[in-house]
Amino acid sequence: MREQPVIIEIQNLTKRFGGLCAVYDFSGCLYKNQIVGIIGPNGAGKTTILNIISGIYPPTSGKVIYKGIDITGLEPHKINHIGIARTFQNIRLFEDLTVLETVMVGYSWRTTYNVLEALLSLPRVRSYEKESEEKSMHWLEMVGLQDQANVNAQSLPYGLQRRVEIARALASEPCVLLLDEPGAGLNQTEVHDLVNLIQKIYEDLSLSILIIDHRMDVIMRLCKWIYVQDFGKNIAQGTPEQIQQDPVVIKAYLGEEISNACN
Amino acid sequence: MDFYLTVALAIAVNTIAVLGTFILTGMNGMFSLGQGAFMGLGAYISAICVVNYHLPFALAILISIVISAGLAVLVGSATLRIRQDFFALATFGFGQAVIGLLTETVNVTGGAMGFSNIPHLTTPALAFISLAVAIALIWGFRRSHFRRDSLAIRSNELAAKVAGINVFKHKMTVYIISAAFAAYAGALMAFHTRYVEPAMYGWMTSVTWIIIVFFGGRDSLTGTVLGSFILLALPEILRFTSAWRILLYCIVILLIINLRPRGLFGNWELSLKSIFKFPKREKSVEAK
């Protein structure tokens, strides 16, 4: 695993919101074609790390290096253009767009026609639209939503909405996929299907995936390497087996008294 | 000229400006209270070019559109990155500043007395063809990725950014188009009424256009155009009620907004396809 080149390297990332230190001195690596997880209880600063990588806000200090280039503080759309796509914990779909149209939004910035050609309805516009429609259909098939293509995205059940988000992220044709708590709000069966889907996407597209969750089952099944965060600090990292036996992690998850009682 | 034709021409020209507000406020959810000012700039610049500098009509219109669009770039770079509610306030300030400018530069614009002696150059044919072209342009806009980007940004700007859309660039494009439409409508209007004064282009004008868009349906091009015809004709139709006219006008708008919150036409579009599909869709509803 370690022989693969580094795709994303995070160096000493710190983020303060006023007096609150959401992330403190986090360093970590995502290797090519690897699934890495970040776990930790609520408020551990997991989502903050993802938001910084995807450019939603800049870090207080520290760097994000992508394929050897410093991308710290780039705007979100530029982060997307260079090949990093993400999903959101609280699903962010678009009202009034169908499932297919939502996924097609991922292709908007790649369009080869300009606004004048669009206004004049030149034939090039139609042919390009058709092409991105076909490509988007392909992603919908991959997440199993081809039959719901023309349904309003927000009318779908929660579990399927999450799949729309994943398809939209894939439509950016990324190298790196950042998944922010994909299991949140799903029941046990849905989580199981989702983990299988992520596994399939990972194998078919040979992506690098950074996944955040506080559900151990999701992380343990998918990840080869895990970072454990607690109150903004990195308290452990290692393979799933190492993490499961780490006393510091058990303490953070179960609380001090209980782990003392166990001893 | 025949009274009805005069009214119809004014409605057609104003609808062009409403179309600009449709893509800006309707599709992108950006409330600009300075759209009327772009119409004023279009009117004044083209009129001054023709009357004072004897430029050809077409060139004068072109100059007025280019200057208005250029100003939209300036105003846009200052306002498009700020939050939507502040955008409304900032454009309001811009609009009133333009009105102030037109009122104060008395030796060029005639100030509050208005600018008159504009030749009558807007023919009915020019007005109606212009409207048809404007509708066709917006129709093309809505069949491209710009429609999806607009609705995506309106609904969830952060998600749109993360999906790779350059939100600032998109908003700027839309703002320039809407300013150009308003300026063109202003130019046509000036050469129709033959007289312009600053008070015609205040924030009330911008608000009227926004009301029309929400009345007709912010998700429907058909709705916006028909809504524009209805609401702009209504004051003339209600003329017989004299003083009650404003009240009745308000009642009609309030009724529509309460009974049909998504506008008179919702997201329905007039097209050959939808006419053929209509009976089918009704059947599938029955089946449910």
DSSP state letter for A224: S
Give dist(CA B10, CA B16) in Å, integer.
10
Sign, Cα dihedral of A29, A30, A31, A36: positive
Give dist(CA B186, CA B117) in Å, integer.
16
Q: Side-chain half-sphere of B268: how many Cα atoms within 13 Å? A: 16
Kindly tell me if the per-residue pLDDT of B187 is higher than 70.
Answer: yes
Judging contacts by C-beta atoms under 8 Å, the chain A residues touching residue B165 are: 77, 105, 108-109
> Residue written as tokens 């410093």?
A70
Judging contacts by C-beta atoms under 8 Å, the chain A residues touching residue B139 are: 121
Work out how many CB contacts closer than 8 A connect A with B: 108
Judging contacts by C-beta atoms under 8 Å, the chain B residues touching residue A126 are: 143
Give dist(CA B200, CA B191) in Å, integer.
14
Q: Tens of pLDDT along B63-89? A: 999 999 999 999 999 999 988 889 999
Give dist(CA B32, CA A51) in Å, integer.
31
CB contact under 8 A, B162 and A132: no
Give dist(CA B269, CA B136) in Å, integer.
13
Judging contacts by C-beta atoms under 8 Å, the chain A residues touching residue B137 are: 119-120
A141 interfacial to chain B (CB closer than 8 Å): no
Sign, Cα dihedral of A90, A94, A98, A104: negative
CB contact under 8 A, A97 and B148: yes
To the nearest whole Å, the CA of B166 is away from the closest chain A CA by 6
Q: What is the pLDDT along chain A (263 residues), one digit of tens a residue?
A: 456 889 999 999 999 998 889 999 999 999 999 999 999 888 888 999 999 999 999 999 999 999 999 999 899 999 999 999 999 998 999 989 999 999 999 999 999 899 999 999 999 999 999 999 999 999 999 999 999 999 999 999 999 999 999 999 999 999 999 999 998 888 889 999 999 999 999 999 989 999 998 788 888 889 999 999 888 889 889 998 888 888 888 887 766 555 455 54
In sequence order, the 6+-apart residues with CB closer than 8 A to the CB of A139 are: A103, A167, A170, A171
| Collapsed DSSP state (helix, strand, coil) of residue A222 | helix
Domains of chain A with CATH codes: 1-83+174-263 (3.40.50.300), 95-171 (no CATH)
CB contact under 8 A, A119 and B156: no
Give dist(CA B103, CA B199) in Å, integer.
9
Query: Of all helices (H) and strands (E), which one includes residue A128?
Result: helix A123-143
Q: How many CB atoms lie within 10 A of CB B175?
A: 28
| Collapsed DSSP state (helix, strand, coil) of residue A253 | helix
> Residue written as tokens 């390297």?
A9
